[in-house]
Amino acid sequence: MQNKLMEKIISLCKRRGFIYPSSEIYGGFSAIYDYGPYGTELANVIKREWWKAMVQKRQDIVGLDSSIFMNPKIWEASGHVSGFSDPLAECKNCNARLRVDHLLEDIGVMADEKMSEEEINEIFIKHKDKIKCPKCGKSDFTEAKKFNLLVKANLGNFTNDWTKDPTYLRGETCQGIYVNYKNVLDSNRVKIPFGIAQIGKAFRNEITARQFVFRTREFEQMEMQYFTHPDNEMEEYEKLRKIRWQYYLDLGIKKENLKWAKHENLVFYAKAAYDIEYKYPFGFKELEGVHARGDYDLSQHTKFSGKDLSYTNPVTNEKYMPHIIESSVGVGRTMLAVLCDAYNEEKERVVMKFSYKLAPIKLAVFPLLKNKPELVKKAKEIYENLSEKFMCEFDDNGNIGKRYRRQDEIGTPYCITVDFDSLEKNDVTVRDRDTMKQDRVDIKKLDKYFQKNLK
Ligand code: ATP
């Protein structure tokens, strides 16, 4: 039933131009997706809302856009070269290859990706009896083995055996923040506590990449790293958790589809780690991580770069290594949550009830008939006017009923129809997506009407 829902959402995304499989005419490309016109619009809205909440409305947070390629030493310092790997085990009965951290997650045991093979196996063995293979139901597994997730490249290396000395496509955006922390501090009027936010692409050689855009090999992250005094880390962490929870409610995500999941097994440097989980059709799964990371990141980069990244309080002269709390979420995972949350099947229609904030297209303008130049002209004028302020669409194809259904499926809150009365009375029909009720509105007042109603 729930997988049916996933299939329906995937099909709607393709049919209506939200998300396409990558390279489809060549048979596709595993675990990579392209955003179509509405997907691009939705992703842009998601990123804009995140930026607004995390940067625009925050005096203490600034933005950054660091590069995808960085000095490979960064990935050694971060632990990604040696430790950034997924633990895999095989079911001895049906030979399915399974992510051990996911098997543990399914029985409510959180394991951190940065744990060593030994640490993971210790937990795995402890809980082995409770874990069943999701394919065959048996409970007989090999030990967990870890596979590195970093994607290698030959950038700037012109030798044939470049794999011995590779560069990497970044596996997470936050390393670009850590290595620029000193630049930001020295060139801006920020002082601790402050945050740096970034949106950008990341790449991971995910082994079990399934579940549509939930887990892809190329994806976009929205990350904010907040630098604090060690004594204030946990207080700031609790504040950040509240902010991030409220953020999803403000986006219009249903509260009952969200929950906190605490990491019981922390990596050695972490102070605390919670995930915000969303109830996807395949179960509650991580949407965002909110973690207190101690001074691990800046200490590692100090050690590996030889540059002192500690902070000196300009008033008290106290010198210390800042502690970091982070909020990290994927654009694709947010989009999938938003799509699932909005999906509604009614008697005669499928309707995406996006919150007005998130709807990719806010208004659609139709002339009642496409072969009546006076109607088309008036509708175009209205479209041109409103598209100064709102993302609008003009549509003169097919009968009005079909045009409504199409807009329902892409979640457009209001449709505006220009008919023969409009020519005489200078008013139009405005149809509400959710109630399907129709209102007659003076064309001169449309702008105000939508400023008020789209709030
Ligand atoms: P998971 O356990 O699901 O693999 P993670 O714990 O490895 O996730 P983080 O490294 O904490 O994830 O990354 C932060 C966020 O980036 C995640 O909460 C998720 O929203 C997003 N993200 C991570 N990996 C992927 C991916 N392969 N595809 C899409 N989004 C991802």
Ligand 1 atom showing the smallest separation from residue 101 Cα: 2
C-alpha span between 172 and 221 (Å, rounded): 7
Where is 424: in which H helix or E strand? Answer: helix 420-425
Confirm if 338 and 358 have CB atoms less than 8 A apart. Answer: yes
- Please, which pLDDT band fits residue 455 given cuts at 50, 70 and 90? confident
C-alpha span between 43 and 117 (Å, rounded): 36
Q: Phi/psi of residue 147, each to 5°?
A: -120, 130
- Please, which pLDDT band fits residue 84 given cuts at 50, 70 and 90? confident
Note the pLDDT of residue 352. Answer: 98
Peptide bond into 193 cis (omega under 30): yes
Q: How far is CA 131 from the centre of its chain?
A: 29
* Candidate of 99, 258, 286 to mutate for ligand 1, largest count of ligand atoms within 8 Å of Cβ: 286
Mean pLDDT of 206-224: 90
Least confident of 21-35, 54-68, 102-116, 193-207: 102-116
- Please, which pLDDT band fits residue 1 given cuts at 50, 70 and 90? low
Least confident of 44-53, 82-91, 291-300: 82-91
131-186 pLDDT, tens digit each: 998 888 888 888 888 888 899 999 999 999 998 899 999 999 999 999 999 999 99
Structure tokens at 211: 């579940």
Residue 276 alpha carbon to ligand 1 centre in Å: 12
The residues near 229 (Cβ < 8 Å, ≥ 6 apart) are: 192, 193, 320, 322, 323
Note the pLDDT of residue 52. Answer: 98
Residue-averaged pLDDT of the chain: 94
* Whether the predicted pLDDT of 210 surpasses 80: no
Confirm if 32 and 218 have CB atoms less than 8 A apart. Answer: yes
Mean pLDDT of 368-382: 96
Confirm if 21 and 33 have CB atoms less than 8 A apart. Answer: yes
203 by DSSP, 3-state: which?
A: strand
DSSP symbol at 368: S
Mean pLDDT of 371-383: 97
Residue 357 alpha carbon to ligand 1 centre in Å: 25
Mean pLDDT of 110-127: 84
307-365 pLDDT, tens digit each: 999 999 999 999 999 999 999 999 999 999 999 999 999 999 999 999 999 999 999 99
Note the pLDDT of residue 113. Answer: 65
* Whether the predicted pLDDT of 111 surpasses 90: no
Ligand 1 atom showing the smallest separation from residue 217 Cα: 27
Residue 153 alpha carbon to ligand 1 centre in Å: 21
C-alpha span between 281 and 109 (Å, rounded): 20
Per cent of the chain over pLDDT 70 is: 99
Mean pLDDT of 189-206: 96
Residue 55 alpha carbon to ligand 1 centre in Å: 22
